[in-house]
Amino acid sequence: MIAQGQQMTTDRIYQGADIEAGPFEFNDRVAAAFPDMIQRSVPGYSVTIDAIGRLAGRYLRAGTTGYDLGCSLGAATLAMRHGARADGVRLVGVDDSAAMLRRCKDKVAADDQLVPVELVLGDVTDTPIENASMVVLNYTLQFVPTDKRDELLRNIAEGLVPGGLLVLSEKIRFDDTNIGRAIIELHEDFKRANAYTELEISRKREALENVLVPDSIDVIKQRLTEAGFASHEVWMQQYNFVSLIALK
């Protein structure tokens, strides 16, 4: 969904002479191109957003709160908003990028659903989670410093009501380097099929180094168990991208 007055910009950030130098950041240029970027870069993204909406209909309980941590332009927030069925639900979207949040606010304002949405500019690791029946971390934890990930997941688990749900989507690394290389090559083929050039793929890889730091699936599962989740499982994987659900 694109808000009135906004147009989706084709992702050309890593093309040509005007390349953005330095580490990847969620600035105005990325925010403008983000819908195109995410669809062409992350296999299974649309399936994940659809599932978040469907899960919201089952897990968002009356009188509770749903959180979208690292909400970017609000795709998961709006999926929860449209999927919610219970009375008295409220949603909170949090992101530390002012550029992303400005566009997210426009999208929420243009949306026709009535579930209240509060958008907060802030660090997800400092966000209080209270009376939550559903929390979404959709490709967010991978950008959180590794030494803060366990604390964030504990905070989420403690803030969820019994039986509450976490949806956690991530890019992952593989302990077996040969398997990892094969799957990364499949992902890069996916990007090529979506009209990214070799130069763009290389430049973005360099920009994301030490910014996006993936865990292995075993590490993610261990983090969830130690945070206090009663159960968790991968429900979707495409190449080196996975989505899990975890229940308190």
CATH number attached to the domain at 45-173+211-247: 3.40.50.150
| pLDDT given for residue 140 in this prediction | 98
- Whether the Cβ atoms of residue 129 and residue 153 lie closer than 8 Å to each other: no
Run of H or E residues at 67: strand 65-69
pTM, two decimals, is 0.94
pLDDT digits (tens, 9 = 90+) for 134-145: 999 999 999 999
- For 214-223, what is the mean pLDDT? 98
Is the Cα dihedral 197, 203, 206, 208 positive or negative?
negative
Confidence of residue 36 (pLDDT cuts 50, 70, 90): very high
pLDDT of residue 52: 98
3-state SS class at 29:
helix
pLDDT, tens only, 76-123: 999 999 999 999 999 999 999 999 999 999 999 999 999 999 999 999
Please provide residue 138's backbone torsions phi and psi, each rounded to the nearest 5 degrees: -100, 95
Give the confidence band of 11 by pLDDT, cuts at 50, 70, 90: confident
Cα 61 from Cα 133, distance rounded (Å): 6
Q: Is the pLDDT of residue 2 over 90?
A: no
Q: Which amino acid is present at 204? A: K
Whole-number pLDDT of residue 8: 56
Q: Which pair of tokens denotes residue 223?
A: 């983090």
| Short-list 45, 7, 89, CA closest to 243 | 45
pLDDT at 58 over 70: yes
Residues contacting 49, CB < 8 A, separation 6+: 75, 76, 79, 138
Question: Residue 60: how many CB atoms within 10 A of its CB?
Answer: 26
Please give the distance of CA 91 from its chain centroid, rounded to a whole number: 16
